[in-house]
Amino acid sequence: FMERFINFQEDKIKSKRLFFPSEEILVSKPNSLISWIFSILTFFFSAFYEEIIYRFFLPESAILFIQKKSKAKWLIIVCEILVALLFSLAHLYLGFFALLNALIAHIILRLLYKKYGLIIPIFLAHFCYNIMSLILL
């Protein structure tokens, strides 16, 4: 059953990018067990990295820096917006809709981090979302 499932996943999808329409992206699902393992590990470490950098380190560091220089609340909002844009621009290579999706995901995950102060559940949500995206591709 597993081999049949993996073979079913071999279909390749071509999509045009909105910002770079002359380039095509060739998206393919993993077609062997080892490919699945490496894909899952890649998603695991990239989700962890992105959560630490974009949800914790960059916004918190920028806010601490701003608060030392000024007490203006609007500067904190500007920092949050800039980090959200940085995160979404990191997904630009996937096209406009992925950029928009990343922006919305960042806002939701950052709000959850601000509310609960826990990075691990947010990392796990990000990782699970990436895995579901791979499976549903």
| pLDDT score for 10 | 44
pLDDT (mean) for 110-134: 93
Q: Write out pLDDT tens, residues 5-21.
A: 444 444 444 444 455 55
| pLDDT score for 134 | 85
The owner of tokens 């990436």 is 130
Closest CA relative to residue 78, chosen from 119, 90, 70, 118: 70
Q: Write out pLDDT tens, residues 29-87.
A: 888 899 999 999 999 999 999 999 999 999 999 989 888 888 788 888 999 999 999 99
DSSP state letters, 5-21: HHHHTT-EEEEE-SSST
Q: Confidence class of residue 136 from pLDDT cuts 50, 70 and 90?
A: confident
State which H helix or E strand residue 26 sits in: strand 24-28
φ, ψ of residue 116 in degrees (nearest 5): -105, -25
| pLDDT score for 86 | 94
Supply the pTM of this predicted model: 0.74
| pLDDT score for 84 | 95
